[in-house]
């Protein structure tokens, strides 16, 4: 034979596996795992990270709020065109805050042009706007 050192031992010598410090490697991996967990905790707690489902929900709620804010102005406009608006505004103010949205829906002001049914979100925002301007 050309070389008296067995094949496996030559590979070990070439790679230098026997020189590796396995305690340092284990320590490195445990530290990496702990670091990943800590970064995840801090990220979701303080840095504002959210799951995709949460981001989707927040985006949907934000879009609905924006649409309701815009459509509530149409509701206020429809209120302004009502010939009995002053009397109805007094009635609206006399109701509890829980019933005001329903009152607006019954008057038809929260029903948008082209729609069959009034929108609850629009009615609630419209109540806010009417209370601010009166």
For the cut 80, the answer to whether the pLDDT of residue 2 exceeds it is: no
Q: Is the dihedral angle over the CA atoms 81, 86, 87, 92 positive or is it negative?
A: positive
- How many domains does the structure of the chain reveal? 2
In a domain, 117, yes or no: yes
Q: Are residues 111 and 76 in the same domain?
A: yes
**In this structure, are 31 and 83 located in the same domain?**
no
Over residues 96-112, the pLDDT tens digits come to 999 999 999 999 999 99
Q: pLDDT grade, residue 25 (50/70/90)?
A: confident
d(CA 52, CA 58): 10
Domain of 117? 52-133
Quote the crossing angle between the two packed helices 52-80 and 85-94, to the nearest 10°. Answer: 130
On whether both 26 and 63 belong to a single domain, the answer is: no
Q: How far is residue 4 from each of residues 8, 10, 16, measured CA to CA in Å? A: 12, 10, 19
- Whether 83 and 33 share a structural domain: no
Entry pTM: 0.65
Same domain, 100 and 73: yes
Q: State the pLDDT at residue 53.
A: 97
Q: What is the mean pLDDT of the chain?
A: 90
- CA geometry: angle at 129 spanning 128 and 134, to 5°? 105
- Are 41 and 105 contained in the same domain? no
Q: How confident is the model over 47-99, as pLDDT tens digits? A: 999 999 999 999 999 999 999 999 999 999 999 999 999 999 999 999 999 99
Asked if residue 112 is part of any domain, the answer here is: yes
Q: Which positions ≥6 away from 71 have C-beta within 8 Å?
A: 112, 119, 122, 125
With cut-offs at 50, 70 and 90, classify the pLDDT of residue 120: very high
Question: Does the structure show a pLDDT above 60 at 1?
Answer: no
């Amino acid at each position: 034979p050309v070389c008296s050192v067995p094949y496996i031992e030559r590979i070990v010598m070439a790679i230098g596996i026997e020189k590796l410090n396995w305690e340092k490697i284990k320590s490195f991996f445990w530290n990496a795992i702990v670091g990943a967990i800590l970064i995840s905790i801090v990220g979701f707690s303080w840095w504002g990270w959210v799951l995709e489902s949460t981001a989707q929900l927040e985006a949907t709620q934000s879009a609905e709020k924006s649409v309701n804010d815009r459509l509530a102005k149409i509701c206020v406009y429809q209120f302004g065109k009502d010939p009995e608006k002053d009397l109805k505004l007094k009635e609206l103010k006399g109701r509890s805050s829980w019933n005001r949205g329903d009152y607006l829906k019954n008057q038809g002001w929260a029903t948008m042009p082209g729609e069959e049914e009034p929108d609850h979100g629009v009615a609630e925002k419209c109540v806010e706007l009417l209370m601010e301007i009166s």
